[in-house]
Structure 1
């Protein structure tokens, strides 16, 4: 269907109402200090009982804290601090892991702080997501590491979640660490060792945070960053996956975030997207990472545009859109901490080539980088593809790598011969 309809305008992507009864997620007037705690309350992690470690061996605190949006203005983000029920047996004092979760979606119901209280979120007829990050979180907590999990900007709160936004994700992760170090009763001090940790969307957030930490949060004692299966370049990601139904909703989440963050792109998107494209963006705004929907029915982005061109062509010939997408690219700055990157060479979702280029760029800046290509992972497609499978082999290795960084051991590197 060609043409645009006001009812499906992408301008609708500038608001994301909070459901009734979710008052915790409605921000009051904010102080200007990034990392400041706005409010906090005890939270019950699902599959855990008072006095019993259960599957998640921790006591949880849900908190709203101040962060910065992609234009460096104050914004509210919610996160969850997890206090381990077992002691830290590694070197020095208990460390803090700033954890960035994988893709959950764009609806407020997909926020990790909500999923951790119920594990599975379902809205009829087919909107369902579960908190798959619990496996990694449980493993970190079982080692005695404290963990803080960010919801990211706009998940749960009234703002639109700007999915795969380089700065907003990085800021949310760094400010989660700042907030956790201020919580009373944790035993952590402001100089506690910190590590950044994430896979997939979380890998991009961890990478962005590693690049921005020295300028944005230099007081944090960051010892290293684990960057797993990251999306490095949003436009490359769209072009690489165009036509793949399992990943098509992510294109809509990216565009919704761009429209919300960069007002100058909205009239362009209104003109370039047809009714099908606008309907896909509108539907995606309130959905989690579900297997069916309009995006999956129209996985080729040439079906979304008035010109019949793919989204990458539309981006390339519109300078405002191109500029907004270029701002999301990882690898343009150099981290000041060692990095472990794991990315399957045959990853069908987050492509490997830009990950290798990112690692090489960091190496060129003198950073100790170890890149693991996960060559043992088979090529698979669908809901459980190579990208999902590659999450698991690095769990133990990445956490031992973190323990070594906390011990002050020199970071390994294969910069001289990247795989």
Structure 2
């Protein structure tokens, strides 16, 4: 485990939270390349919004640490550590929750959006963390990484995994915690956060083999980025693929070159605008936009360019099988993520030897499945923390069930092994 010699505390500004792009706390120090992945650069205590300030939470800290980008180069990232007031008996357990940042602008980063006084009304982060309070109620500590890194490269492969795993390393090395090398670790995320969690599970065996990750919950984890981008283009959620392109061009020079050469002035203006919009505002502003109209050649032809074919292949999850057990939860009638894409992702994992319990829910849709599956996710992770065996099988919700919450509770009982 990395030593804490580089830990430097920074007192929060009295004027309230500052956007990460403008906050010196996030500045990379000289010589970051000599630090070990996960090594802490600086830390500070923060106040979280009232929807987090419950009796389940006592202290919250932010850590800036050394991590790795898509190209294997050293970089920095931040995570927010929340410590429960009431802890479980025995060693403290750690949950890393990857949020659905789903944007390029730093106002959507969890380290900013969760703070008291942050202007985060159009972000997803504060809403979904109401669900994660279940973990604090169980006495678990929670790490909430800014898994997009400082570039806000939403949609990029692998590096969300690196930043998540390095955030766990930093949390375990932090002076205010009492973790050990044997601390059991769970992963959980939904939608864009589910995709980041999938990358963390895939990268863990090679990038952070020392971490004792006992299981990962992948909620609606995208499955196939190319399929999602094409299916959403021109529809109600067309802002999501536009934001993904704006983020991916920051880490794929080949994509940036294609945009420079083939995007119209109108297309470039829209990409520049969406870089500064929070998630919900971007979805509303760019509803029904067609990316094909941003280009001077057909979209199908652009996607057939060799560099674009290679990039799209690079974005696909499931080619590295996680070695930890997985719970995958997906709504059959999801209006954003195709259940067929997630089916294939699960098939790829199982073909690689991963133990997967797959719940295909027929009663919910994308926005309701996270809160409805919260008890199931926490119950499944509790079983993994306590060393109970996993039942790796498919479970499909019964259509017509009157109370979805009863269904989720029933599925949880079926998944648990006493």
Query: Which TM bucket (shorter chain)?
Result: 0.7 to 0.9
How many angstroms apart in 1 are the aligned matches of 2:301 and 2:361?
34
Kindly state the Cα deviation for residue 291 of structure 1 after the two structures are TM-superposed: 3.4
Query: Do structure 1's residue 413 and structure 2's residue 392 form an aligned pair?
Result: yes
**Normalising by structure 1, what TM-score?**
0.84
More relative contact order, 1 or 2 (CA 8 Å, 6+ apart): 1
Kindly state the Cα deviation for residue 256 of structure 1 after the two structures are TM-superposed: 2.2
Kindly state the Cα deviation for residue 198 of structure 1 after the two structures are TM-superposed: 0.4
The size of the alignment, in residue pairs, is 378
Pick from 211, 217, 232 the counterpart of residue 202 of structure 2.
211
Deviates more, 1:92-101 or 1:256-265: 256-265
Pick from 240, 256, 265 the counterpart of residue 250 of structure 1.
240
Q: Is the 8 A contact 1:363 1:415 kept in 2?
A: no
Pick from 371, 375, 386 the counterpart of residue 362 of structure 2.
375
**Normalising by structure 2, what TM-score?**
0.84
Tell me how large the CA RMSD over aligned residues is: 2.4
For 1:12-161, what aligned pairs fall within 5 Å after superposition? 19-20=21-22, 22-29=23-30, 30=32, 31-47=34-50, 54=54, 57-89=57-89, 92-118=90-116, 121=119, 131-154=126-149, 157=150, 160-161=151-152
1:11-56 deviation per Cα after TM superposition (whole angstroms, max 9, x unaligned) = xxxxxx9654x1112221213411111111111112179xxx6266
Q: What does residue 321 of structure 1 align with? A: 308
Q: What does residue 281 of structure 1 align with? A: 271
Q: What does residue 169 of structure 1 align with? A: 160
Query: Do structure 1's residue 334 and structure 2's residue 324 form an aligned pair?
Result: no
Structure 1 pair 113–292 and aligned structure 2 pair: CA distance change class (3 A) = closer
Q: What does residue 290 of structure 1 align with? A: 280
Structure 1 pair 315–212 and aligned structure 2 pair: CA distance change class (3 A) = farther
Query: Do structure 1's residue 364 and structure 2's residue 351 form an aligned pair?
Result: yes
1:60-115 deviation per Cα after TM superposition (whole angstroms, max 9, x unaligned) = 011101111111111110110111111114xx522111110013521112211111
For 1:391-410, what aligned pairs fall within 5 Å after superposition? 391-410=370-389
Structure 1 pair 219–297 and aligned structure 2 pair: CA distance change class (3 A) = closer
Query: Do structure 1's residue 265 and structure 2's residue 244 form an aligned pair?
Result: no
How many angstroms apart in 2 are the aligned matches of 1:358 and 1:82?
31
Deviates more, 1:236-245 or 1:175-184: 236-245
Structure 1 pair 182–334 and aligned structure 2 pair: CA distance change class (3 A) = same
Structure 1 pair 361–117 and aligned structure 2 pair: CA distance change class (3 A) = same
How many angstroms apart in 2 are the aligned matches of 1:115 and 1:23?
17
Q: Is the 8 A contact 2:263 2:296 kept in 1?
A: yes
| Ranges in structure 1 where 5+ consecutive residues have no aligned partner | 1-16, 378-385
How many angstroms apart in 1 are the aligned matches of 2:125 and 2:99?
12
